[in-house]
Amino acid sequence: MINFPLPRLDKDKKLQKYLLKFCRIKKGEVWDDPKKKHKVACIDAEDNSAIKKLMGRNKAKLAVQDPPYNMVAFQKTRAEEFAKWCGSWIKNTEEILSENSSLYVWLGADQKNHLEPFAEFILMMRITGFNSKSFITMRNQRGYGTQMNWMSIRQELLYYTKGKPVFNIEGVYTDIPKVLKGYYKEVKGIKTENLQRSKSVNIRAGNVWIDVQQVFHLLEENVNGCFAQKPLKAIERIINVSSNKNDRVVDFFAHAGTTLIACERLKRKCTTVDIDPIYCEISIRRLEHLRETGQTGWQNSNPFADEILDSRTIKSYLKKEYNIVYKK
Ligand SMILES: C[S@@+](CC[C@H](N)C(=O)[O-])C[C@H]1O[C@@H](n2cnc3c(N)ncnc32)[C@H](O)[C@@H]1O
């Protein structure tokens, strides 16, 4: 049971207005980590000069981008326009990445609508300075379309590079043990079985990730109120493989601050951006919460629970609209 639930924030403008006053940065502002590792900025990913100013002379080794596809803002937007919009923040990403670096982009593909905007996006990427490296599919547990279609349980993740970036092979292994023996091969005249030759007793994730649990309310990492949170395990896999300790990692669509949390845990420096001050605040609070408690999210609570408990107005609003009761 969640003690202090928070409804989906994107769907409730009034609740957003209430929470805005608890946010420490406004549009155009930057939060500098007192420990001097990370930065959280409330800016538009398309804003070239704001992104450049934010980065200063720092270049990042890795970008993990999770744009708001299939969301309210883009539901009525044509896929071509979406791809054009992506082109502008991809250009910004390219400019602030170092010579040898990696870019990962989470994308949707609407199976009922010619898999938009997947094709438009990958075609747009052909005219950038990035090289395509992999098309990863992550398996979700929940899906949609079970009666008259194959249940959609995939999440697309594209991997691009600039130059020759690091690829830490030890990070590609899952926790799933290898069980199949076979594939005999002669090494120096001796017949060896595949387990003898391999680097790990576990299988590689490959480009189909079946071992990542989708975020839901019972997980510690859950951030109530957020609706598009990526699993920490997936982001940590990307960071482990495509960056080294102390490298700078960027994420232009922070939301629940998953990349920031992963960077803190894996000793990378994170520069993250969200256009909405509420998600900037959530990201900062999630980092502070991690540093104070060691926990990666709120599970039974939410980032604004204390303020809500102290606010008669918000409490009565939540009771009236959602029948949610806040009690100490
Ligand atoms: C799909 S969510 C990202 C989820 C994130 N990876 C996580 O694990 O929590 C997209 C986020 O992008 C933000 N956003 C939308 N348009 C933006 C823009 N032009 N610039 C920066 N952020 C934007 C939204 O406010 C939302 O929080």
Query: Cα dihedral angle (166, 169, 170, 173), rounded to 10 degrees?
Result: 130
Rounded to an integer, what is the distance from CA 328 to the centroid of its chain? 32
User: Which residues are CB-contacts of 27 (< 8 A; sequence separation ≥ 6)?
Assistant: 42, 43, 275, 277
- Condensed to tens digits (0 to 9), the pLDDT of residues 158-189 reads 999 999 999 999 999 999 998 877 777 788 88
CA distance 326 to 309: 6
Res 184: pLDDT: 76
Q: Which ligand 1 atom sits nearest the alpha carbon of residue 223?
A: 9
Look at 44-58, 105-119, 123-137 and tell me which has the smallest mean pLDDT: 105-119
Note the helical H segments in the chain: 13-20, 48-55, 72-75, 79-96, 118-125, 194-197, 232-242, 258-266, 277-293, 305-309, 312-322
Q: How many CB atoms lie within 10 A of CB 135?
A: 13
Res 152: pLDDT: 87
CA distance 28 to 35: 22
Report phi then psi at 298, rounded to 5: -115, -15
In the predicted model, is pLDDT for residue 15 greater than 50? yes
- Ligand 1 lined by 68 (C-beta under 6 Å): yes
Determine the residue type at 85: W
Higher pLDDT, 32 or 178: 32
In the predicted model, is pLDDT for residue 71 greater than 50? no
Helix (H) or strand (E) holding 156: strand 152-162
> Which two structure tokens, joined as six digits, stand for 277?
């001050």
CA distance 20 to 135: 38
- Ligand 1 lined by 236 (C-beta under 6 Å): no
CA distance 60 to 269: 9
Q: Ligand 1 centre from 65 Cα, in Å?
A: 9
Confidence band, pLDDT 50/70/90 cuts, at residue 72 = very low
In the predicted model, is pLDDT for residue 74 greater than 60? no
Look at 40-49, 149-158, 182-191, 291-300 and tell me which has the smallest mean pLDDT: 182-191
In the predicted model, is pLDDT for residue 70 greater than 60? no
Question: Which residue out of 255, 286, 298 has the highest number of ligand 1 atoms within 8 Å of its CB and is therefore the one to mutate?
Answer: 255
- Ligand 1 lined by 10 (C-beta under 6 Å): no
CA distance 307 to 309: 5
Closest protein CA for atom 10 of ligand 1? 68
In the predicted model, is pLDDT for residue 2 greater than 80? no
Pairing of strands 202-204, 190-192: unpaired
Res 180: pLDDT: 74
CA distance 32 to 23: 14
Instruction: Provide the mean pLDDT of the chain.
Output: 93
> Which two structure tokens, joined as six digits, stand for 258?
């998953």
In the predicted model, is pLDDT for residue 146 greater than 90? no
By CB atoms closer than 10 A (0-12, 13-18, 19+), residue 46 is middle
- Ligand 1 lined by 66 (C-beta under 6 Å): yes
In the predicted model, is pLDDT for residue 150 greater than 80? yes
- Token pair 């100013």: residue: 53
In the predicted model, is pLDDT for residue 80 greater than 60? yes
Question: Which residue out of 25, 275, 284 has the highest number of ligand 1 atoms within 8 Å of its CB and is therefore the one to mutate?
Answer: 275
- Ligand 1 lined by 171 (C-beta under 6 Å): no
Q: Ligand 1 centre from 255 Cα, in Å?
A: 5
Q: Which ligand 1 atom sits nearest the alpha carbon of residue 46?
A: 19
Domains of the chain: 23-165+212-303 (3.40.50.150)
CA distance 301 to 218: 11
Res 274: pLDDT: 98
Res 82: pLDDT: 92
In the predicted model, is pLDDT for residue 73 greater than 60? no
Residue 178's alpha-carbon distances to 128, 194, 233, 237, 241, in angstroms, are 39, 10, 20, 19, 20
Question: Which residue out of 54, 253, 283, 286 has the highest number of ligand 1 atoms within 8 Å of its CB and is therefore the one to mutate?
Answer: 253
Res 248: pLDDT: 98
Give me the mean pLDDT over the 243-259 stretch: 98
Q: Ligand 1 centre from 62 Cα, in Å?
A: 17
Give me the mean pLDDT over the 121-148 stretch: 92
C-beta separation of 10 from 229 below 8 A: no
Res 197: pLDDT: 73
- Ligand 1 lined by 221 (C-beta under 6 Å): no
Q: Residues, the chain, total?
A: 328
Confidence band, pLDDT 50/70/90 cuts, at residue 267 = very high
Give me the mean pLDDT over the 245-265 stretch: 98
Comparing C-alpha atoms, which of 280, 235, 226 is closest to residue 106? 235
Q: Ligand 1 centre from 274 Cα, in Å?
A: 6
User: Which residues are CB-contacts of 190 (< 8 A; sequence separation ≥ 6)?
Assistant: none
Q: Ligand 1 centre from 328 Cα, in Å?
A: 32
Res 75: pLDDT: 55
Look at 94-108, 167-181, 231-245 and tell me which has the smallest mean pLDDT: 167-181
Give me the mean pLDDT over the 209-224 stretch: 94
Res 312: pLDDT: 95
